[in-house]
Chain A
Amino acid sequence: MLTMSDSVAQSALTNFRQGLRIKWVILKTAMEERLVYRGDFAFATLVRFLPIITQVFLWNAIFAGDSQRQLNGYSYSAMVSYYLLVMVARAFSSMPGLSNGIAMSVRDGSVRKYLLQPVDMLGYLFWHRIAHKLVYYIVATGPFALVFWLCRAYLPAWPEPLVLFACGMSLAMAFLIGFLIEALIGLVSFWFLEVSSLIFIYMMMSYFLSGHMIPLEWIAEWIPWVHYLPFKYLAYFPAAILLGRIPPESLMLELCIQAAWIVALLVLNRVAFHYGVRRYGAFGG
């Protein structure tokens, strides 16, 4: 009896190890792939910093250089630090090309790779995306650090370790929510081959409803239920934690809600994949 449970444990361990190795090799291969076009990639990363600078100047103009002035609870320096932190959150939650990539693979039939090989498509794409992000952080950390250093006068003091930890958690979960929403949009292409308008709608909605464009508190004045949507976890929430805008007593609850969204989106993704592949099989490929 003991030997049987031993062998079961043994094979579970072997399976686990093999699973880890696959993930590692996907990660490694995808990183190598990203680094092929390093020039283009580095340039694209740098260009993405231009809007940050223009946005800082834009807010400067709106506040008319008056450091005492408050707009809906935000001073100029609060605004700048909010914006910079939101950009950090977006660096985690934005998934350029994910939905489109899935849609394209359904359209041109290359999605069949995931159906023919003994791999899980979502898992494969996930590790692929992690590789994307890691390479991006390697390139973007320098410019980000520079921008933060230049704007250091506007930034609040270093937060408590616990707050910092909560912010880190929410950033990791922001990545997951961003990934799962865009993967879900991509999977819709099993039903409608063309999903670019859907992606556009999502981009617009997340731009407003995540607090990317203006602080979420301002939007909540017009749309009070914006707090019940998953979008705020893509940008506003991690920034707000660091800025002390989330009351400590509700921080834990908010993190749990964020985690609940991940579970819900994961279930939706699994269901969409299950039925999507069946539909693909029914309509051909």
Chain B
Amino acid sequence: MPAIDVQNIGRTYKVYQKREGLFASVKGLLHREYRDVHAVRDISFTIEEGEMVAFLGPNGAGKTTTLKLLSGLIVPTSGTATVLGYTPWKREDAYRRRFSLVTGQKEQLWWDLPAQESFRLNKEIYRVSWDDYRSRLDELTELLEVGELMGQPVRELSLGERMRMELIAALLHRPDVLFLDEPTIGLDVVSQRNVQQFLLKYQKEQGITVVLTSHYMKDVEALCDRAIVINKGNVIHDGSLDDIVDRFSQHKIIELHFGGDSTPRGIDRYGVVLEDRPPMLRLQVEKQKVSHVLSKVLAEYTIDDVSVSERPLEDVIAELFAADNKQNADNE
């Protein structure tokens, strides 16, 4: 049985439509017009136990709504879902003891007290035994390197430190499923990497199921093999990250190091010059023309070094969303 099984789930909100101006505001007191917004239209997927899957999508795509559905915060308007065999929005205690949701909003911890007080409270709420509590806390504080911060009020911690404390609070009861909504939002590069490395290691060791959303493609590349791409409330891709580039990118990148100190003129007839830093030049070329361009360039110029790579996932995804939006706009 998959850990997470989602079938044709949909979620529609009624949103109050206010027209411009004071007169409209007064009119709105008496009569209101509502518009249906389909946050999630018809999404289906399954996630096996121990998988680490990313939800990708632009703002408003329905990623967070999907996570909210799976953690039981909101009720769907159509479809079904089970997580670990439970229907999330019934909010049974038995289910709530087995998952955690960590969001960039970070609201688990008591602001004015050291994080350890919040951990102690979570220990009781989730009924963790003293032995488990101590060993898990030791393990997590060591992995996340926050030992000396345990006695400091949460409000005095930096954003990155607080995020790591949030993670500890979320993992003390050793959930089987972990939902992460933008776990590295607002963090500096070092903190981001710390959190990534921790998640990777922890997930491997514990074999828990992790679903994460992130705008930050480095997160996704570092952590997940599989991505579910959502846009406008629909799944547009479900598969490995490499597949995304394979499927949606029409171009590759050729990096050329020329002999001598300069790069030749006129090379843009072979493709789009992305970067020109003599003697290095990066060229974006259509996939099917790569070998043709390579043979031409190698014959024509003196080349010291050459490499061909895929386009960065980030660019491909950005292009994919832009194209999808345009297509939607054309259809409407």
Q: Is A285 an interface residue (CB 8 A)?
A: yes
Contact with A along B30-64 (1 / 0, CB 8 A): 00000000010000000000000000000000000
Determine if A29 is an interface residue (Cβ-Cβ < 8 Å). yes
- Name the one of B72, B74, B75, B124 contacting A22, with C-beta atoms under 8 angstroms: B124
- Closest residue of B by beta carbon distance from A25: B124
**Interface pair A110/B107, CB less than 8 Å apart:** yes
CB <8 Å contact, A32 and B121? no
Whether A270 sits at the interface, judged by CB under 8 Å, is: no
Contact flag A29-B125 (CB < 8 Å), given A118-B96, A282-B74, A284-B13: no
Chain B CB within 8 A of A33 CB: yes
Say yes or no: B73 contacts A29, CB within 8 Å: no
Interface residue? B289 (CB, 8 A): no
**Contact: B121 with A26, CB < 8 Å?**
yes
A116 in contact with B74 given A29-B121, A33-B110 (CB within 8 Å): no
> Considering only CB atoms, which chain B residue lies closest to A23 in the complex?
B124
Question: Beta-carbon contacts of B80-123 to A below 8 Å, as 1s and 0s?
Answer: 00000000010101001100110001011010110001101111
Contact A113 B107 (CB under 8 A): yes
Q: Report the bound CA distance from A283 to B73 in whole Å.
A: 10
Cβ contacts under 8 Å, A32 to chain B? 113, 117
B311 within 8 A of A: no
Residue from B75, B100, B105, B122 within 8 A of A109 (CB atoms): B105
Among residues of B, the one whose C-beta sits closest to the C-beta of A120 is B93
Within A94-119, the residues touching B (CB, 8 Å) are 109-110, 112-113, 115-119
A-chain residues with CB within 8 Å of residue B120 when the two chains form the complex: 25, 29
Q: Residue of A at shortest CB range from B74?
A: A281
Q: Are A281 and B96 in contact (CB under 8 A)?
A: no
Q: How far is the CA of A119 from the CA of B108 in the complex (A)?
A: 13
| A69 CB-CB contact with B under 8 Å | no
Q: A36-B153, A115-B73 are in contact. Are A285 and B68 (CB under 8 A)?
A: yes
- Secondary structure call for the B interface: mixed
Report the bound CA distance from A282 to B107 in whole Å: 22
B75:A282 contact, CB within 8 angstroms: yes
Identity of the chain A residue whose Cβ is nearest the Cβ of B112 in the assembled complex: A36
State A37–B107 Cα separation when bound (angstroms).
20
A53 to chain B: closest CB distance in Å? 32
Q: Which of A210-238 contact B (CB under 8 A)?
A: none
**Residue of B105, B110, B118, B126 touching A118 (CB-CB under 8 A):** B126
Q: How many angstroms from the CA of A26 to the CA of B89 in the assembled complex?
A: 26
Smallest Cβ-Cβ distance to B72: which chain A residue = A115
Q: Mark out the residues of chain A between 21 and 47 whose CB falls within 8 Å of any chain B CB in the assembled complex.
A: 21-22, 25-26, 29, 32-33, 36-37
Contact: A115 with B105, CB < 8 Å? no
Instruction: Tell me which of A29, A113, A119, A281 contacts B117 (CB under 8 A).
Output: A29
Q: What chain B residues lie within 8 Å of A118 (beta carbons)?
A: 93, 96-97, 125-126
Total B residues in contact with A, Cβ cutoff 8 Å = 34
A18 x B121 contact (CB < 8 A): no
Q: Does A278 reach chain B (CB closer than 8 Å)?
A: yes
Count of interface residues, chain A, beta-carbon cutoff 8 Å: 26
In whole angstroms, how far apart are the Cα atoms of A112 and B127 in the complex? 20
Which residues of B are found within 8 Å of A284, using beta-carbon distances?
A: 13, 39, 65, 68, 74
- Contact call B74/A21, Cβ cutoff below 8 A: no
Q: How far is the CA of A281 from the CA of B39 in the complex (A)?
A: 13
Q: How far is the CA of A112 from the CA of B71 in the complex (A)?
A: 10
Q: Which residue of A lies closest to B95 (CB)?
A: A118
| Chain B residues in 8 Å Cβ range of A25 | 120-121, 123-124
What chain A residues lie within 8 Å of B68 (beta carbons)? 284-285
Residues of A within 8 A of B91 (CB): 115
Beta-carbon contacts under 8 Å, A249-285 to B: 278, 280-285
Q: Which residues of chain B from 123 to 153 have a CB within 8 Å of any chain A CB?
A: 123-127, 153
CA distance A22 to B125 in the complex (A): 6
Min CB distance, A137 to chain B, in Å? 21
Chain A residue nearest to B75 (CB atoms) is A281
- Chain A min CB distance to B88 (Å): 10
Give the distance in Å from the alpha carbon of A281 to the alpha carbon of B110 in the complex.
25
In the complex, the answer to whether A117 meets B96 with C-beta atoms within 8 Å is yes
Q: Determine the chain B residues whose CB is within 8 A of the CB of A26 once the complex forms.
A: 121
- Give every chain B residue within 8 A of A18 (Cβ-Cβ): 124, 127
Question: Which residues does chain A contribute within 8 Å of B112, judged by CB atoms?
Answer: 33, 36-37
Residues of B within 8 A of A22 (CB): 124-125
Chain A: minimal CB distance from B89 (Å): 6
Known contacts A115-B91, A116-B71, A119-B125: A29-B96 contact under CB 8 Å:
no
Measured CB to CB, the closest approach of chain A to B178, in angstroms, equals 12
- Min Cβ gap A122→B in Å is 15
- Residues of the A chain whose Cβ atoms lie less than 8 Å from the Cβ of B97: 118
Measured CA separation A115–B118 after assembly (Å):
17
In the assembled complex, the Cα of A60 lies from the Cα of B105 at a distance in Å of 54
How far does the alpha carbon of A236 sit from the alpha carbon of B110 in the complex, in Å?
A: 37
In the complex, chain B residues whose CB is within 8 Å of the CB of A33: 110, 112-113
Contact with B along A66-92 (1 / 0, CB 8 A): 000000000000000000000000000
Q: List 17 A-B contacts (CB under 8 A).
A: A25-B124, A29-B118, A33-B110, A33-B113, A36-B112, A109-B105, A109-B107, A112-B73, A113-B107, A115-B72, A116-B72, A117-B122, A118-B126, A281-B74, A281-B89, A283-B14, A285-B74
Interface residues of B (CB under 8 A from A): 13-14, 39, 65, 68, 71-75, 89, 91, 93, 96-97, 100-101, 105, 107-108, 110, 112-113, 117-118, 120-127, 153
